[in-house]
């Protein structure tokens, strides 16, 4: 009997059961033996609850080692793990539970009462709890159980459903198979040279592909150790550098915040071999500042919930700031005309389309939507726009829905943002299109000052761009704000900005 994903993650491999899987903030540690045993006992509880192959286990729980065990347990019991953002409200939970119809829901004990109406409305047969401290009815039920043996599952079977963090329209559940997850874990582990000696600082949420699959699966597949932190905390990360850590995976905000920490020095990171960034664009400036400060070039990679990881800067060779590197082995990436799907020449900007064993099978319950997002030859249309440069590095210029069409001309926000970010007094910027009677959309810059006491002035920003950008790309207005709206993964929420400022030009469209 084989379970494709768990075999790749070597979950049943007895010889490494004494090695440490996770070091907890309180100084205790869980070995691989511990986590596999707990997962086996939780799997027994899930099977008792009537979980059948393919059934969903929805989990809205705080980050804990036990929550990782629940993920493994679900896969072990033949189910599909469905992690949900801890920020989702009861109303949002009602949608997800209704849509996914899980057999089991695992929630925070403190939220059980508030979620009861959503759970009842969705008719979820079994509800268990798991708290941030690793306690709750799930763990109580698992105590003293005989661990279940893994249920046989093949590469095409469903292993997880992750709802995309989509900022517009209805959230869609991406169905990920055992092959999707296993192939990407193996590819990344080899590409980034992970071994059993690695100690990865894990400070990402585990309801998202980055923290759950990229970070956790890669380490598990190679038998390394996690320094398991409940959330991002610059002090704790700097402390972890001195505790044998070798690698960090983070979103760009991790790096910008760590750069503000006085403890970030070359000496402090002497034991580190790899810093990876992804899930949102890393500013070239951050890349350069990090290299100057630590001597390390951050390795930026690109992927998404639906596809797992797609491209990566090289482990050896130049890690080029502002790019997401080359397609990973076995992953095909092409640039196509967004309308016709016809391939474009290198250097041209177009829709990023991808194929490979890592690419999901479709959206849960949405066959029509799924068909629309795939080309006839099986390539998935990512919704990102990009181009390959002469050396084959992929540059992402933004989401296609963030593309601005002003007076009939395409404006790629990233080009304008990069110039604004280089102006004096600017920390960062977001360029959006807002409804405008004459132009259709008006290019609009939202700017965050480096020092709130001396915000950059609109005329100065406009003057700074005047000679460097074609007129149609220049912002019509520059707005100064304290901070840009971001989601849990540090992605700027442009849809929220468009909504906030929809009426700036009289709302006329
Ligand atoms: P998610 O499904 O939440 O992981 O979001 C995936 C999206 O994040 C991608 O489609 C990209 O738009 C964006 N993204 C991920 N990694 C990068 C990166 N390194 N640079 C720029 N955008 C990225």
Q: How far is CA 83 from the centre of its chain?
A: 13
Evaluate: CB of 396 within 6 angstroms of ligand 1: yes
| Beta strands at 247-250 and 199-202: parallel, antiparallel or unpaired | parallel
Among protein residues, the one with the nearest Cα to ligand 1's atom 9 is: 304
Distance CA 33, CA 251 (A): 30
Among protein residues, the one with the nearest Cα to ligand 1's atom 5 is: 304
> Which of 181-195, 210-224, 412-426 shows the lowest mean pLDDT across its residues?
412-426
Q: Residues 228, 22: contact at Cβ < 8 Å?
A: yes
Taking residues 11-25, report their average pLDDT.
93
Q: At what angle do helices 252-259 and 284-294 cross, to 10 degrees?
A: 50
Evaluate: CB of 278 within 6 angstroms of ligand 1: yes
| Residue 13 binned pLDDT confidence (cut-offs 50, 70, 90) | confident
Q: What pLDDT is attached to residue 14?
A: 84
Pocket test for ligand 1, best of 304, 382, 403 (most atoms within 8 A of CB): 304
Q: CB under 8 Å to 38, separation ≥6 — which residues?
A: 66, 69, 73, 142
Q: What pLDDT is attached to residue 508?
A: 47
Among protein residues, the one with the nearest Cα to ligand 1's atom 21 is: 281
Q: CB under 8 Å to 429, separation ≥6 — which residues?
A: 416, 417, 420, 421, 445, 446, 447, 448
User: Quick check: helix, strand or coil at residue 362?
Assistant: strand
- DSSP string across 318-336: ---TT---EEPTT-EEEEE
Q: pLDDT, tens digit, for every residue of 276-333? A: 999 988 989 899 999 999 999 999 999 999 999 999 999 999 999 999 999 999 999 9
Q: Is pLDDT above 50 for 189?
A: yes
CB contact burial 28-67 (16+ within 10 A = b; e otherwise):
ebbbbebbbbbbbbbbbbbbebebeeebbbbbbbbbbbbb
> Which of 75-79, 165-169, 264-268 shows the lowest mean pLDDT across its residues?
165-169
Q: Is pLDDT above 60 for 414?
A: yes
Q: CB under 8 Å to 313, separation ≥6 — which residues?
A: 299, 300, 301, 319, 320, 323, 324, 325, 326, 393
Taking residues 195-199, report their average pLDDT.
98
Taking residues 234-247, report their average pLDDT.
98
Q: What values do phi and psi take at 484, rounded to 5?
A: -90, 145
Q: Which ligand 1 atom minimizes the distance to the CA of 164? A: 2
Closest CA to 70 of 95, 104, 49, 42: 42
Q: Residues 479, 444: contact at Cβ < 8 Å?
A: yes
Q: Residues 287, 313: contact at Cβ < 8 Å?
A: no
Distances (CA, A) of 25 to 133, 149, 261, 310, 431: 11, 30, 20, 32, 40
Distance CA 403, CA 473 (A): 12
- ∠326-328-331 over CA atoms, to 5°? 110
Among protein residues, the one with the nearest Cα to ligand 1's atom 1 is: 304
Instruction: Tell me the three-class secondary structure of 111-162, residue by residue.
Output: HHHHHHHHHHHHCCCEEEECCCCCCCHHHHHHCCCCCCCCCCECCCCEEEEE
Q: Which ligand 1 atom minimizes the distance to the CA of 278? A: 19
Distance CA 20, CA 43 (A): 21
Ligand 1 center to 384 CA (angstroms): 8
Q: Is pLDDT above 80 for 167?
A: no
Evaluate: CB of 382 within 6 angstroms of ligand 1: yes
Q: CB under 8 Å to 60, separation ≥6 — which residues?
A: 83, 84, 85, 86, 88, 93, 105, 106, 107, 108, 111, 115, 207
Closest CA to 54 of 122, 110, 121, 101: 101
Q: Is pLDDT above 70 for 407?
A: yes
Q: pLDDT, tens digit, for every residue of 154-164? A: 999 999 999 98
Evaluate: CB of 304 within 6 angstroms of ligand 1: yes
Structure tokens at 112: 């059980």
Q: Is pLDDT above 90 for 205?
A: yes
Ligand 1 center to 43 CA (angstroms): 32
Query: Would the pTM count as exceeding 0.85?
Result: yes
Taking residues 204-226, report their average pLDDT.
97
Q: Residues 428, 448: contact at Cβ < 8 Å?
A: yes
Task: Give me the sheet containing 394-399, strands edge to edge.
Answer: 332-336, 350-355, 380-388, 394-399
Please give the torsion angle defined by the CA atoms of residues 376, 381, 387 and 388, in that order, rounded to the nearest 10 degrees: -60
Residue identified by tokens 């949002």 is 92
Q: Dmax of the chain from CA atoms?
A: 72
Q: Which helix (H) or strand (E) holds 498?
A: helix 494-500
Distance CA 401, CA 398 (A): 8
Q: pLDDT, tens digit, for every residue of 103-151? A: 999 999 999 999 999 999 999 999 999 999 999 999 999 999 999 999 9
């Amino acid at each position: 009997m084989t379970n494709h994903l768990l075999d790749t993650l070597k979950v049943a491999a007895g010889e490494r059961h004494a090695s440490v899987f996770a070091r907890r903030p309180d100084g205790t540690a869980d070995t691989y033996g511990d986590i596999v045993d707990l997962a086996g006992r939780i799997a027994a509880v899930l099977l008792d609850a009537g979980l059948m192959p393919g059934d969903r286990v929805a989990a809205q729980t705080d980050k804990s080692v036990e929550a990782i065990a629940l993920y493994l347990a679900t896969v072990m019991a033949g189910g599909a793990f469905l992690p949900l953002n801890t920020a989702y409200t009861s109303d949002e939970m009602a949608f997800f539970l209704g849509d996914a119809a899980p057999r089991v829901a695992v929630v925070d004990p403190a939220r059980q009462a508030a979620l009861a109406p959503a759970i009842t409305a969705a008719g979820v047969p079994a509800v268990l709890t798991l708290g941030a401290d690793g306690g709750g009815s799930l763990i109580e039920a698992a105590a003293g159980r005989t661990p279940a043996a893994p249920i046989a599952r093949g590469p095409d079977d469903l292993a997880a459903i992750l709802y995309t963090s989509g900022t517009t329209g209805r959230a869609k559940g991406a169905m990920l198979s055992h092959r999707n997850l296993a192939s990407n874990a193996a590819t990344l582990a080899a590409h980034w040279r992970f071994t059993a000696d690695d100690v990865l600082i894990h400070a990402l949420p585990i309801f998202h592909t980055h923290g759950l699959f990229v970070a956790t699966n890669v380490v598990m597949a190679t038998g390394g150790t996690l320094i398991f932190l409940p959330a991002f905390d610059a002090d704790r990360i700097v402390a972890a550098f001195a505790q044998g850590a070798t690698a960090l995976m983070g979103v760009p905000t991790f790096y910008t915040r760590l750069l503000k920490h006085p403890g970030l020095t070359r000496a402090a990171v002497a034991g580190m071999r790899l810093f990876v960034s992804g899930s949102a664009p890393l500013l070239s400036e951050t890349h350069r500042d990090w290299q100057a400060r630590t001597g390390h070039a951050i390795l930026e990679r690109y992927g998404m919930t639906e596809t797992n990881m797609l491209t990566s800067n090289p482990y050896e060779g130049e890690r080029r700031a502002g790019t997401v590197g080359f397609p990973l082995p076995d992953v095909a990436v092409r640039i196509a005309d967004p309308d016709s799907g016809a391939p474009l020449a290198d250097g041209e900007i177009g829709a990023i389309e991808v194929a490979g064993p890592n690419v999901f099978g479709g959206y849960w319950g949405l066959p029509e939507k799924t068909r629309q997002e795939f080309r006839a030859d099986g390539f998935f249309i990512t919704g990102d726009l990009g181009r390959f440069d002469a050396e084959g590095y992929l540059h992402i210029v933004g989401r296609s829905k963030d593309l601005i069409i002003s007076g009939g001309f395409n404006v790629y926000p990233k080009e304008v943002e990069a110039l604004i970010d280089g102006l004096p007094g600017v920390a960062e910027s977001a360029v959006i299109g807002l409804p405008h009677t004459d132009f259709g959309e008006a290019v609009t810059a939202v700017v965050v000052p480096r020092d709130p006491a001396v915000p950059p002035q609109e005329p100065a920003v406009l003057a700074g761009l005047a000679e460097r950008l074609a007129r149609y790309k220049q912002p019509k207005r520059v707005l100064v704000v304290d901070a840009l709206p971001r989601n849990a993964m540090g992605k700027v929420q442009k849809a929220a900005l468009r909504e906030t400022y929809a009426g700036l030009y009289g709302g006329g469209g």
